[in-house]
Structure 1
Protein backbone atom coordinates (compact mmCIF):
# COMPACT_ATOMS: atom_id res chain seq x y z
CA UNK A 1 0.00 0.00 0.00
CA UNK A 2 1.43 3.34 -1.03
CA UNK A 3 1.40 6.43 1.18
CA UNK A 4 -0.74 8.28 -1.35
CA UNK A 5 -3.51 5.67 -1.06
CA UNK A 6 -3.78 5.80 2.74
CA UNK A 7 -6.64 8.01 3.97
CA UNK A 8 -6.80 10.27 7.02
CA UNK A 9 -9.82 8.70 8.72
CA UNK A 10 -7.79 6.26 10.81
CA UNK A 11 -5.45 8.99 12.00
CA UNK A 12 -8.37 11.14 13.09
CA UNK A 13 -9.91 8.25 15.02
CA UNK A 14 -6.59 7.60 16.75
CA UNK A 15 -6.30 11.26 17.75
CA UNK A 16 -9.87 11.34 19.03
CA UNK A 17 -9.26 8.19 21.04
CA UNK A 18 -6.11 9.62 22.57
CA UNK A 19 -7.88 12.89 23.42
CA UNK A 20 -10.86 11.01 24.76
CA UNK A 21 -13.97 11.67 22.73
CA UNK A 22 -16.02 10.73 25.79
CA UNK A 23 -13.90 12.85 28.12
CA UNK A 24 -15.16 15.74 30.20
CA UNK A 25 -12.61 18.04 28.54
CA UNK A 26 -13.83 17.23 25.04
CA UNK A 27 -17.42 17.85 26.13
CA UNK A 28 -16.49 21.17 27.75
CA UNK A 29 -14.56 22.30 24.67
CA UNK A 30 -17.62 21.63 22.52
CA UNK A 31 -20.34 22.98 24.80
CA UNK A 32 -18.68 25.66 26.96
CA UNK A 33 -20.26 28.61 25.12
CA UNK A 34 -23.73 27.05 25.19
CA UNK A 35 -23.44 26.30 28.92
CA UNK A 36 -22.32 29.86 29.70
CA UNK A 37 -25.17 31.27 27.65
CA UNK A 38 -27.64 29.04 29.50
CA UNK A 39 -26.34 30.06 32.92
CA UNK A 40 -26.45 33.73 31.91
CA UNK A 41 -24.02 34.75 34.65
CA UNK A 42 -25.30 32.35 37.32
CA UNK A 43 -22.84 30.09 39.13
CA UNK A 44 -22.59 26.51 37.84
CA UNK A 45 -23.84 23.75 40.15
CA UNK A 46 -20.79 21.52 39.84
CA UNK A 47 -22.20 18.78 42.04
CA UNK A 48 -25.24 18.31 39.83
CA UNK A 49 -23.08 18.56 36.72
CA UNK A 50 -20.58 15.96 38.01
CA UNK A 51 -23.46 13.57 38.82
CA UNK A 52 -24.63 14.00 35.24
CA UNK A 53 -21.08 13.39 33.94
CA UNK A 54 -21.05 10.09 35.84
CA UNK A 55 -24.48 9.09 34.53
CA UNK A 56 -23.50 9.61 30.88
CA UNK A 57 -20.03 8.10 31.26
CA UNK A 58 -17.89 11.21 30.78
CA UNK A 59 -14.46 10.66 32.35
CA UNK A 60 -11.41 12.76 33.18
CA UNK A 61 -7.96 12.37 31.66
CA UNK A 62 -7.21 9.39 33.92
CA UNK A 63 -10.34 7.55 32.88
CA UNK A 64 -12.11 8.27 36.15
CA UNK A 65 -15.37 9.95 36.98
CA UNK A 66 -14.42 13.59 37.54
CA UNK A 67 -14.73 15.11 40.98
CA UNK A 68 -16.04 18.62 41.54
CA UNK A 69 -12.48 19.95 41.91
CA UNK A 70 -11.35 18.10 38.79
CA UNK A 71 -14.32 19.40 36.80
CA UNK A 72 -13.70 22.98 37.93
CA UNK A 73 -9.98 22.79 37.07
CA UNK A 74 -10.77 21.26 33.67
CA UNK A 75 -13.36 23.99 33.06
CA UNK A 76 -10.76 26.67 33.86
CA UNK A 77 -8.12 25.09 31.59
CA UNK A 78 -10.60 24.67 28.76
CA UNK A 79 -11.54 28.34 29.11
CA UNK A 80 -7.90 29.43 28.88
CA UNK A 81 -7.28 27.14 25.92
CA UNK A 82 -10.34 28.40 24.07
CA UNK A 83 -9.30 31.98 24.85
CA UNK A 84 -5.86 31.40 23.33
CA UNK A 85 -7.41 29.64 20.35
CA UNK A 86 -9.79 32.53 19.78
CA UNK A 87 -6.90 35.00 20.08
CA UNK A 88 -4.91 33.07 17.50
CA UNK A 89 -7.95 32.95 15.25
CA UNK A 90 -8.42 36.70 15.70
CA UNK A 91 -4.74 37.27 14.92
CA UNK A 92 -5.02 35.15 11.80
CA UNK A 93 -8.14 37.03 10.77
CA UNK A 94 -6.43 40.37 11.44
CA UNK A 95 -3.40 39.24 9.46
CA UNK A 96 -5.65 38.14 6.63
CA UNK A 97 -7.39 41.52 6.71
CA UNK A 98 -4.02 43.29 6.77
CA UNK A 99 -2.78 41.30 3.80
CA UNK A 100 -6.03 41.94 1.98
CA UNK A 101 -5.73 45.66 2.76
CA UNK A 102 -2.14 45.64 1.49
CA UNK A 103 -3.24 43.91 -1.70
CA UNK A 104 -6.05 46.42 -2.16
CA UNK A 105 -3.64 49.28 -1.46
CA UNK A 106 -1.12 47.93 -3.95
CA UNK A 107 -3.91 47.43 -6.45
CA UNK A 108 -5.09 51.01 -5.90
CA UNK A 109 -1.53 52.31 -6.33
CA UNK A 110 -1.10 50.36 -9.55
CA UNK A 111 -4.46 51.58 -10.85
CA UNK A 112 -3.55 55.16 -9.88
CA UNK A 113 -0.22 54.85 -11.68
CA UNK A 114 -1.95 53.46 -14.76
CA UNK A 115 -4.53 56.25 -14.62
CA UNK A 116 -1.83 58.92 -14.17
CA UNK A 117 0.20 57.44 -17.01
CA UNK A 118 -2.84 57.45 -19.28
CA UNK A 119 -3.70 61.01 -18.26
CA UNK A 120 -0.09 62.07 -18.88
CA UNK A 121 -0.14 60.39 -22.29
CA UNK A 122 -3.46 62.06 -23.11
CA UNK A 123 -2.11 65.45 -21.96
CA UNK A 124 1.04 64.91 -24.01
CA UNK A 125 -1.02 64.00 -27.06
CA UNK A 126 -3.21 67.08 -26.53
CA UNK A 127 -0.13 69.29 -26.13
CA UNK A 128 1.43 67.79 -29.26
CA UNK A 129 -1.80 68.34 -31.17
CA UNK A 130 -1.96 71.92 -29.92
CA UNK A 131 1.67 72.55 -30.90
CA UNK A 132 1.01 71.09 -34.35
CA UNK A 133 -2.03 73.32 -34.76
CA UNK A 134 -0.07 76.37 -33.61
CA UNK A 135 2.78 75.49 -35.97
CA UNK A 136 0.37 75.10 -38.85
CA UNK A 137 -1.38 78.38 -38.00
CA UNK A 138 2.00 80.13 -37.76
CA UNK A 139 3.10 78.68 -41.09
CA UNK A 140 -0.18 79.74 -42.70
CA UNK A 141 0.19 83.22 -41.23
CA UNK A 142 3.77 83.47 -42.50
CA UNK A 143 2.65 82.44 -45.97
CA UNK A 144 -0.17 84.98 -45.92
CA UNK A 145 2.12 87.65 -44.48
CA UNK A 146 4.79 86.97 -47.09
CA UNK A 147 2.20 87.25 -49.84
CA UNK A 148 0.81 90.44 -48.32
CA UNK A 149 4.26 91.99 -47.89
CA UNK A 150 5.22 91.05 -51.43
CA UNK A 151 2.03 92.60 -52.75
CA UNK A 152 2.53 95.68 -50.59
CA UNK A 153 6.16 96.09 -51.65
CA UNK A 154 5.24 95.71 -55.29
CA UNK A 155 2.51 98.32 -54.94
CA UNK A 156 4.76 100.71 -53.01
CA UNK A 157 7.52 100.28 -55.56
CA UNK A 158 5.11 101.07 -58.35
CA UNK A 159 3.86 104.11 -56.44
CA UNK A 160 7.42 105.31 -55.84
CA UNK A 161 8.26 104.99 -59.50
CA UNK A 162 5.08 106.84 -60.41
CA UNK A 163 5.89 109.62 -57.93
CA UNK A 164 9.39 109.99 -59.30
CA UNK A 165 7.99 110.23 -62.79
CA UNK A 166 5.42 112.81 -61.71
CA UNK A 167 7.98 114.78 -59.72
CA UNK A 168 10.19 115.01 -62.77
CA UNK A 169 7.34 116.65 -64.64
CA UNK A 170 6.71 119.29 -61.99
CA UNK A 171 8.07 122.47 -63.54
CA UNK A 172 7.85 124.70 -60.49
CA UNK A 173 7.37 123.25 -56.95
CA UNK A 174 6.15 126.71 -55.80
CA UNK A 175 2.78 126.20 -57.47
CA UNK A 176 1.44 124.14 -54.58
CA UNK A 177 -1.30 126.26 -53.10
CA UNK A 178 -4.25 124.47 -51.51
CA UNK A 179 -5.27 120.89 -52.10
CA UNK A 180 -5.30 121.26 -55.85
CA UNK A 181 -6.26 118.25 -57.89
CA UNK A 182 -3.39 116.98 -59.99
CA UNK A 183 -3.15 114.56 -62.83
CA UNK A 184 -4.98 111.27 -62.47
CA UNK A 185 -3.11 108.06 -61.86
CA UNK A 186 -5.42 105.24 -62.75
CA UNK A 187 -8.77 106.34 -61.25
CA UNK A 188 -7.41 108.14 -58.13
CA UNK A 189 -6.86 111.94 -58.26
CA UNK A 190 -3.56 113.09 -56.78
CA UNK A 191 -3.43 116.09 -54.47
CA UNK A 192 -0.76 118.35 -53.05
CA UNK A 193 -0.48 119.80 -49.56
CA UNK A 194 -0.92 123.50 -48.84
CA UNK A 195 2.62 124.09 -47.63
CA UNK A 196 4.68 127.28 -47.57
CA UNK A 197 7.84 127.48 -49.61
CA UNK A 198 10.71 126.97 -47.18
CA UNK A 199 14.36 127.28 -48.08
CA UNK A 200 16.02 123.90 -47.77
CA UNK A 201 12.80 121.87 -48.11
CA UNK A 202 13.13 119.46 -51.03
CA UNK A 203 10.72 119.09 -53.91
CA UNK A 204 9.49 115.78 -52.42
CA UNK A 205 7.49 117.70 -49.81
CA UNK A 206 5.48 119.39 -52.56
CA UNK A 207 4.98 116.37 -54.81
CA UNK A 208 1.41 115.21 -55.52
CA UNK A 209 0.32 112.11 -53.59
CA UNK A 210 -2.53 109.64 -53.44
CA UNK A 211 -4.78 110.63 -50.48
CA UNK A 212 -6.35 107.16 -50.32
CA UNK A 213 -3.10 105.54 -49.18
CA UNK A 214 -2.84 104.85 -45.43
CA UNK A 215 -0.27 106.76 -43.38
CA UNK A 216 3.13 105.15 -42.90
CA UNK A 217 3.55 103.75 -39.39
CA UNK A 218 6.64 103.56 -37.24
CA UNK A 219 8.27 100.15 -37.59
CA UNK A 220 7.05 99.51 -41.13
CA UNK A 221 9.69 98.66 -43.71
CA UNK A 222 10.78 101.33 -46.14
CA UNK A 223 10.61 99.50 -49.49
CA UNK A 224 13.17 101.84 -51.03
CA UNK A 225 15.90 101.40 -48.40
CA UNK A 226 14.81 98.16 -46.77
CA UNK A 227 15.08 99.73 -43.30
CA UNK A 228 12.31 100.20 -40.75
CA UNK A 229 10.92 103.68 -40.17
CA UNK A 230 12.11 104.77 -36.72
CA UNK A 231 10.88 108.29 -35.98
CA UNK A 232 7.14 108.01 -35.45
CA UNK A 233 4.23 107.78 -37.87
CA UNK A 234 3.32 110.13 -40.70
CA UNK A 235 2.17 113.49 -39.34
CA UNK A 236 -1.20 114.82 -40.54
CA UNK A 237 -0.76 117.89 -42.75
CA UNK A 238 2.88 117.11 -43.55
CA UNK A 239 4.56 115.14 -46.34
CA UNK A 240 4.35 111.36 -46.02
CA UNK A 241 7.43 109.22 -45.59
CA UNK A 242 6.21 107.26 -48.59
CA UNK A 243 7.80 109.83 -50.90
CA UNK A 244 11.28 109.55 -49.36
CA UNK A 245 14.03 107.04 -49.80
CA UNK A 246 15.78 107.95 -46.55
CA UNK A 247 14.14 108.91 -43.26
CA UNK A 248 16.78 111.59 -42.62
CA UNK A 249 15.56 113.52 -45.66
CA UNK A 250 11.99 113.31 -44.38
CA UNK A 251 13.11 114.54 -40.93
CA UNK A 252 14.87 117.52 -42.50
CA UNK A 253 11.88 118.57 -44.62
CA UNK A 254 9.21 118.00 -41.96
CA UNK A 255 11.37 119.49 -39.21
CA UNK A 256 11.80 122.72 -41.19
CA UNK A 257 8.09 122.86 -42.01
CA UNK A 258 7.23 122.40 -38.32
CA UNK A 259 9.72 125.09 -37.35
CA UNK A 260 8.13 127.47 -39.86
CA UNK A 261 4.62 126.70 -38.60
CA UNK A 262 5.32 127.12 -34.86
CA UNK A 263 7.25 129.79 -33.05
CA UNK A 264 7.70 127.63 -29.94
CA UNK A 265 7.26 123.98 -29.07
CA UNK A 266 4.38 124.85 -26.72
CA UNK A 267 2.00 125.11 -29.67
CA UNK A 268 3.18 121.85 -31.25
CA UNK A 269 1.36 118.57 -30.98
CA UNK A 270 3.13 115.66 -29.34
CA UNK A 271 3.85 114.14 -32.74
CA UNK A 272 5.28 117.41 -34.03
CA UNK A 273 7.45 117.80 -30.92
CA UNK A 274 8.82 114.30 -31.34
CA UNK A 275 9.73 114.78 -35.01
CA UNK A 276 11.08 118.31 -34.44
CA UNK A 277 13.35 117.17 -31.61
CA UNK A 278 14.47 114.14 -33.61
CA UNK A 279 15.36 116.41 -36.53
CA UNK A 280 17.32 118.77 -34.27
CA UNK A 281 19.00 115.90 -32.49
CA UNK A 282 20.15 114.35 -35.75
CA UNK A 283 21.52 117.67 -37.03
CA UNK A 284 18.93 118.08 -39.77
CA UNK A 285 17.98 121.63 -38.71
Structure 2
Protein backbone atom coordinates (compact mmCIF):
# COMPACT_ATOMS: atom_id res chain seq x y z
CA UNK A 1 0.00 0.00 0.00
CA UNK A 2 1.45 3.34 -1.04
CA UNK A 3 1.42 6.48 1.08
CA UNK A 4 -0.79 8.31 -1.42
CA UNK A 5 -3.51 5.63 -1.20
CA UNK A 6 -3.88 5.77 2.61
CA UNK A 7 -6.80 7.95 3.77
CA UNK A 8 -6.94 10.35 6.71
CA UNK A 9 -9.88 8.75 8.57
CA UNK A 10 -7.69 6.52 10.74
CA UNK A 11 -5.44 9.39 11.76
CA UNK A 12 -8.43 11.52 12.78
CA UNK A 13 -9.83 8.67 14.89
CA UNK A 14 -6.44 8.28 16.59
CA UNK A 15 -6.27 12.00 17.40
CA UNK A 16 -9.86 12.06 18.69
CA UNK A 17 -9.17 9.03 20.86
CA UNK A 18 -6.05 10.65 22.31
CA UNK A 19 -7.94 13.89 23.02
CA UNK A 20 -10.84 11.99 24.54
CA UNK A 21 -13.89 12.30 22.32
CA UNK A 22 -16.08 11.06 25.14
CA UNK A 23 -14.56 13.54 27.61
CA UNK A 24 -16.20 16.42 29.44
CA UNK A 25 -13.72 18.86 27.82
CA UNK A 26 -14.63 17.75 24.27
CA UNK A 27 -18.32 18.12 25.07
CA UNK A 28 -17.80 21.61 26.51
CA UNK A 29 -15.75 22.71 23.49
CA UNK A 30 -18.59 21.74 21.18
CA UNK A 31 -21.55 22.97 23.23
CA UNK A 32 -20.28 25.89 25.35
CA UNK A 33 -22.01 28.57 23.24
CA UNK A 34 -25.33 26.69 23.21
CA UNK A 35 -25.21 26.19 27.00
CA UNK A 36 -24.46 29.89 27.63
CA UNK A 37 -27.28 30.92 25.32
CA UNK A 38 -29.68 28.60 27.16
CA UNK A 39 -28.71 29.93 30.62
CA UNK A 40 -29.10 33.58 29.52
CA UNK A 41 -26.75 34.74 32.28
CA UNK A 42 -28.04 32.40 35.02
CA UNK A 43 -25.58 30.37 37.12
CA UNK A 44 -24.95 26.82 35.98
CA UNK A 45 -26.11 24.04 38.30
CA UNK A 46 -22.86 22.06 38.26
CA UNK A 47 -24.19 19.31 40.50
CA UNK A 48 -27.03 18.49 38.13
CA UNK A 49 -24.68 18.76 35.16
CA UNK A 50 -22.10 16.41 36.74
CA UNK A 51 -24.81 13.86 37.48
CA UNK A 52 -25.77 14.01 33.80
CA UNK A 53 -22.11 13.64 32.75
CA UNK A 54 -21.92 10.44 34.84
CA UNK A 55 -25.16 9.10 33.39
CA UNK A 56 -23.98 9.50 29.78
CA UNK A 57 -20.42 8.31 30.47
CA UNK A 58 -18.49 11.59 30.00
CA UNK A 59 -15.18 11.43 31.89
CA UNK A 60 -12.45 13.88 32.84
CA UNK A 61 -8.90 13.86 31.45
CA UNK A 62 -7.91 11.05 33.86
CA UNK A 63 -10.76 8.81 32.79
CA UNK A 64 -12.72 9.43 36.01
CA UNK A 65 -16.17 10.77 36.72
CA UNK A 66 -15.81 14.58 36.87
CA UNK A 67 -16.37 16.32 40.19
CA UNK A 68 -18.03 19.71 40.49
CA UNK A 69 -14.62 21.39 41.00
CA UNK A 70 -13.14 19.51 38.04
CA UNK A 71 -16.08 20.44 35.81
CA UNK A 72 -15.79 24.11 36.79
CA UNK A 73 -12.01 24.23 36.07
CA UNK A 74 -12.55 22.47 32.76
CA UNK A 75 -15.30 24.97 31.89
CA UNK A 76 -12.95 27.89 32.69
CA UNK A 77 -10.06 26.46 30.69
CA UNK A 78 -12.30 25.67 27.71
CA UNK A 79 -13.56 29.28 27.78
CA UNK A 80 -10.02 30.67 27.74
CA UNK A 81 -9.00 28.30 24.98
CA UNK A 82 -12.02 29.27 22.84
CA UNK A 83 -11.26 32.96 23.42
CA UNK A 84 -7.70 32.47 22.21
CA UNK A 85 -8.93 30.52 19.21
CA UNK A 86 -11.39 33.30 18.33
CA UNK A 87 -8.64 35.89 18.79
CA UNK A 88 -6.31 33.97 16.50
CA UNK A 89 -9.11 33.60 13.94
CA UNK A 90 -9.82 37.33 14.17
CA UNK A 91 -6.12 38.11 13.72
CA UNK A 92 -5.94 35.84 10.68
CA UNK A 93 -9.02 37.49 9.21
CA UNK A 94 -7.62 40.96 9.94
CA UNK A 95 -4.32 40.01 8.35
CA UNK A 96 -6.14 38.63 5.32
CA UNK A 97 -8.15 41.85 5.04
CA UNK A 98 -4.97 43.91 5.41
CA UNK A 99 -3.21 41.94 2.69
CA UNK A 100 -6.25 42.25 0.45
CA UNK A 101 -6.37 46.01 1.08
CA UNK A 102 -2.65 46.26 0.25
CA UNK A 103 -3.18 44.33 -2.97
CA UNK A 104 -6.10 46.57 -3.93
CA UNK A 105 -4.07 49.67 -3.06
CA UNK A 106 -1.12 48.48 -5.13
CA UNK A 107 -3.47 47.60 -7.98
CA UNK A 108 -5.09 51.06 -7.81
CA UNK A 109 -1.65 52.74 -7.70
CA UNK A 110 -0.49 50.77 -10.74
CA UNK A 111 -3.68 51.63 -12.61
CA UNK A 112 -3.34 55.31 -11.66
CA UNK A 113 0.28 55.32 -12.82
CA UNK A 114 -0.70 53.68 -16.12
CA UNK A 115 -3.53 56.21 -16.57
CA UNK A 116 -1.24 59.17 -15.79
CA UNK A 117 1.40 57.84 -18.18
CA UNK A 118 -1.18 57.44 -20.93
CA UNK A 119 -2.56 60.93 -20.27
CA UNK A 120 0.97 62.37 -20.35
CA UNK A 121 1.70 60.55 -23.61
CA UNK A 122 -1.59 61.79 -25.10
CA UNK A 123 -0.82 65.37 -23.99
CA UNK A 124 2.69 65.13 -25.42
CA UNK A 125 1.35 63.81 -28.72
CA UNK A 126 -1.26 66.58 -28.84
CA UNK A 127 1.42 69.20 -28.12
CA UNK A 128 3.63 67.69 -30.83
CA UNK A 129 0.77 67.77 -33.34
CA UNK A 130 0.03 71.39 -32.40
CA UNK A 131 3.70 72.37 -32.86
CA UNK A 132 3.82 70.57 -36.21
CA UNK A 133 0.62 72.31 -37.37
CA UNK A 134 1.99 75.70 -36.27
CA UNK A 135 5.27 74.99 -38.05
CA UNK A 136 3.40 73.99 -41.21
CA UNK A 137 1.25 77.13 -41.06
CA UNK A 138 4.33 79.29 -40.49
CA UNK A 139 6.15 77.62 -43.40
CA UNK A 140 3.12 78.09 -45.66
CA UNK A 141 2.88 81.75 -44.64
CA UNK A 142 6.60 82.25 -45.34
CA UNK A 143 6.22 80.65 -48.77
CA UNK A 144 3.21 82.82 -49.57
CA UNK A 145 4.96 85.92 -48.26
CA UNK A 146 8.09 85.17 -50.30
CA UNK A 147 5.98 84.64 -53.41
CA UNK A 148 4.09 87.87 -52.77
CA UNK A 149 7.29 89.84 -52.22
CA UNK A 150 8.80 88.35 -55.38
CA UNK A 151 5.69 89.21 -57.39
CA UNK A 152 5.66 92.71 -55.92
CA UNK A 153 9.32 93.29 -56.74
CA UNK A 154 8.79 92.04 -60.29
CA UNK A 155 5.78 94.31 -60.69
CA UNK A 156 7.65 97.34 -59.31
CA UNK A 157 10.60 96.63 -61.62
CA UNK A 158 8.29 96.28 -64.63
CA UNK A 159 6.53 99.56 -63.76
CA UNK A 160 9.89 101.30 -63.36
CA UNK A 161 11.00 100.04 -66.78
CA UNK A 162 7.70 101.19 -68.25
CA UNK A 163 8.13 104.67 -66.72
CA UNK A 164 11.64 104.90 -68.10
CA UNK A 165 10.40 103.90 -71.55
CA UNK A 166 7.60 106.47 -71.41
CA UNK A 167 10.01 109.17 -70.22
CA UNK A 168 12.37 108.33 -73.06
CA UNK A 169 9.54 108.50 -75.60
CA UNK A 170 8.35 111.87 -74.23
CA UNK A 171 11.91 113.27 -74.36
CA UNK A 172 12.26 112.03 -77.92
CA UNK A 173 8.97 113.68 -78.89
CA UNK A 174 10.02 116.97 -77.31
CA UNK A 175 13.35 116.99 -79.18
CA UNK A 176 11.74 116.32 -82.56
CA UNK A 177 10.56 119.49 -84.41
CA UNK A 178 6.82 119.83 -84.86
CA UNK A 179 5.94 117.37 -82.02
CA UNK A 180 4.62 118.11 -78.52
CA UNK A 181 4.83 115.98 -75.39
CA UNK A 182 1.60 114.02 -74.83
CA UNK A 183 1.07 111.58 -71.94
CA UNK A 184 0.04 108.07 -72.92
CA UNK A 185 -3.56 107.17 -72.29
CA UNK A 186 -4.00 105.51 -68.90
CA UNK A 187 -0.54 106.53 -67.76
CA UNK A 188 -0.65 107.27 -64.01
CA UNK A 189 2.70 107.94 -62.31
CA UNK A 190 3.16 106.27 -58.93
CA UNK A 191 4.16 108.39 -55.95
CA UNK A 192 5.73 107.70 -52.57
CA UNK A 193 5.05 109.44 -49.29
CA UNK A 194 7.73 111.54 -47.64
CA UNK A 195 7.93 109.44 -44.48
CA UNK A 196 10.77 109.23 -41.96
CA UNK A 197 12.75 106.03 -41.65
CA UNK A 198 11.67 104.39 -38.39
CA UNK A 199 13.05 101.19 -36.95
CA UNK A 200 10.46 98.44 -36.97
CA UNK A 201 8.35 99.87 -39.80
CA UNK A 202 7.96 97.36 -42.63
CA UNK A 203 8.94 97.96 -46.25
CA UNK A 204 5.25 98.18 -47.22
CA UNK A 205 5.00 101.70 -45.78
CA UNK A 206 7.58 103.03 -48.24
CA UNK A 207 6.25 101.41 -51.42
CA UNK A 208 5.02 103.66 -54.27
CA UNK A 209 1.25 103.78 -54.78
CA UNK A 210 -1.30 105.01 -57.26
CA UNK A 211 -2.67 108.35 -55.93
CA UNK A 212 -5.76 108.12 -58.11
CA UNK A 213 -7.09 105.13 -56.17
CA UNK A 214 -9.71 106.02 -53.52
CA UNK A 215 -8.77 105.61 -49.83
CA UNK A 216 -9.73 102.35 -48.15
CA UNK A 217 -12.81 102.75 -45.97
CA UNK A 218 -13.71 101.01 -42.72
CA UNK A 219 -15.92 97.97 -43.37
CA UNK A 220 -14.64 97.33 -46.88
CA UNK A 221 -13.43 93.82 -47.61
CA UNK A 222 -9.69 93.26 -47.79
CA UNK A 223 -9.19 91.35 -51.07
CA UNK A 224 -6.03 89.69 -49.74
CA UNK A 225 -7.45 88.23 -46.51
CA UNK A 226 -11.20 88.31 -47.17
CA UNK A 227 -11.82 90.14 -43.87
CA UNK A 228 -13.41 93.55 -43.39
CA UNK A 229 -11.16 96.47 -42.43
CA UNK A 230 -11.89 97.30 -38.80
CA UNK A 231 -9.82 100.24 -37.54
CA UNK A 232 -11.17 103.23 -39.46
CA UNK A 233 -10.40 104.63 -42.93
CA UNK A 234 -7.01 105.31 -44.50
CA UNK A 235 -5.35 108.30 -42.83
CA UNK A 236 -4.15 111.13 -45.12
CA UNK A 237 -0.36 111.34 -45.20
CA UNK A 238 0.10 107.78 -43.97
CA UNK A 239 0.47 104.44 -45.81
CA UNK A 240 -2.74 103.02 -47.22
CA UNK A 241 -4.20 99.72 -46.07
CA UNK A 242 -4.25 98.73 -49.72
CA UNK A 243 -0.62 97.55 -49.51
CA UNK A 244 -1.18 95.32 -46.44
CA UNK A 245 -2.49 91.80 -46.12
CA UNK A 246 -3.27 92.05 -42.41
CA UNK A 247 -4.67 95.10 -40.67
CA UNK A 248 -2.48 94.48 -37.62
CA UNK A 249 0.61 95.10 -39.76
CA UNK A 250 -0.91 98.40 -40.92
CA UNK A 251 -1.75 99.34 -37.30
CA UNK A 252 1.83 98.66 -36.25
CA UNK A 253 3.39 100.81 -39.01
CA UNK A 254 0.93 103.71 -38.88
CA UNK A 255 0.92 103.72 -35.07
CA UNK A 256 4.69 104.20 -35.09
CA UNK A 257 4.48 107.02 -37.64
CA UNK A 258 1.81 108.77 -35.53
CA UNK A 259 3.91 108.30 -32.37
CA UNK A 260 6.94 109.81 -34.14
CA UNK A 261 4.93 112.73 -35.57
CA UNK A 262 3.16 113.82 -32.34
CA UNK A 263 4.61 114.37 -28.91
CA UNK A 264 1.18 114.09 -27.23
CA UNK A 265 -2.31 113.05 -28.27
CA UNK A 266 -3.45 116.67 -28.02
CA UNK A 267 -2.05 117.47 -31.44
CA UNK A 268 -3.55 114.34 -33.05
CA UNK A 269 -6.73 114.28 -35.06
CA UNK A 270 -9.56 112.08 -33.83
CA UNK A 271 -8.77 109.54 -36.53
CA UNK A 272 -5.09 109.51 -35.54
CA UNK A 273 -6.05 109.08 -31.87
CA UNK A 274 -8.26 106.10 -32.71
CA UNK A 275 -5.51 104.32 -34.65
CA UNK A 276 -2.82 105.27 -32.09
CA UNK A 277 -4.86 103.93 -29.16
CA UNK A 278 -5.65 100.72 -31.03
CA UNK A 279 -1.93 100.20 -31.70
CA UNK A 280 -1.12 100.87 -28.04
CA UNK A 281 -3.82 98.45 -26.90
CA UNK A 282 -2.19 95.74 -28.98
CA UNK A 283 1.22 96.66 -27.53
CA UNK A 284 2.72 97.59 -30.87
CA UNK A 285 4.21 100.78 -29.40
TM over 0.5: yes
Instruction: Say if 2:92 is the partner of 1:98.
Output: no
- SS of the residue corresponding to residue 142 of structure 2 reads helix
Q: Which residue of 1 aligns with 2:212?
A: 211
Instruction: Say if 2:135 is the partner of 1:143.
Output: no
Identify if the C-alpha distance between structure 1 residues 98 and 168 changes in structure 2 by more than 3 Å, giving closer, same or farther.
Answer: same
Q: Deviations over 1:217-246 (max 9, x none)?
A: xxxxxxxxxxxxxxxxx9945999xxxxxx
Aligned length: 202
Residue 126 of structure 1: how far off its partner (Å):
1.5
Q: What is the Cα-based RMSD across aligned positions, in Å?
A: 3.5
Q: Which residue of 1 aligns with 2:9?
A: 9
Q: Which residue of 2 aligns with 1:49?
A: 49
Superposed, 1:109-188 pairs within 5 Å as 109-164=109-164, 183=183, 187=186
Residue 151 of structure 1: how far off its partner (Å):
1.3
- SS of the residue corresponding to residue 21 of structure 1 reads coil
Identify if the C-alpha distance between structure 1 residues 188 and 19 changes in structure 2 by more than 3 Å, giving closer, same or farther.
Answer: farther
Q: Deviations over 1:224-279 (max 9, x none)?
A: xxxxxxxxxx9945999xxxxxxxxxxxxxxxxxxxxxxxxxx9869xxxxxxxxx
Identify if the C-alpha distance between structure 1 residues 36 and 214 changes in structure 2 by more than 3 Å, giving closer, same or farther.
Answer: same
Identify if the C-alpha distance between structure 1 residues 190 and 69 changes in structure 2 by more than 3 Å, giving closer, same or farther.
Answer: same
Task: Give the Cα separation in 2 of the matches to 1:121 and 1:49.
Answer: 77
Q: Deviations over 1:195-230 (max 9, x none)?
A: xxxxxxxxxxxx995433989xxxxxxxxxxxxxxx
Residue 158 of structure 1: how far off its partner (Å):
2.6
Q: Deviations over 1:7-27 (max 9, x none)?
A: 211111000001011101001
Instruction: Say if 2:33 is the partner of 1:33.
Output: yes
Q: Which residue of 1 aligns with 2:76?
A: 76
Q: Deviations over 1:26-62 (max 9, x none)?
A: 0110111111111111111111111111111111101
Q: Deviations over 1:106-162 (max 9, x none)?
A: 111111111112112222222222222222212211111111111122222233344
- Gaps in structure 2 of 5+ consecutive residues: 172-181, 193-207, 217-233, 241-265, 270-285
- Gaps in structure 1 of 5+ consecutive residues: 172-181, 194-206, 216-233, 241-266, 271-285
Q: Deviations over 1:85-113 (max 9, x none)?
A: 00000010011011111111111111111
Identify if the C-alpha distance between structure 1 residues 58 and 40 changes in structure 2 by more than 3 Å, giving closer, same or farther.
Answer: same
Q: Which residue of 1 aligns with 2:67?
A: 67
Q: What is the TM-score when the length of structure 2 is the normalising length?
A: 0.61
Higher-Rg member (1/2)? 1
Q: What is the TM-score when the length of structure 1 is the normalising length?
A: 0.61
Q: Which residue of 2 aligns with 1:19?
A: 19
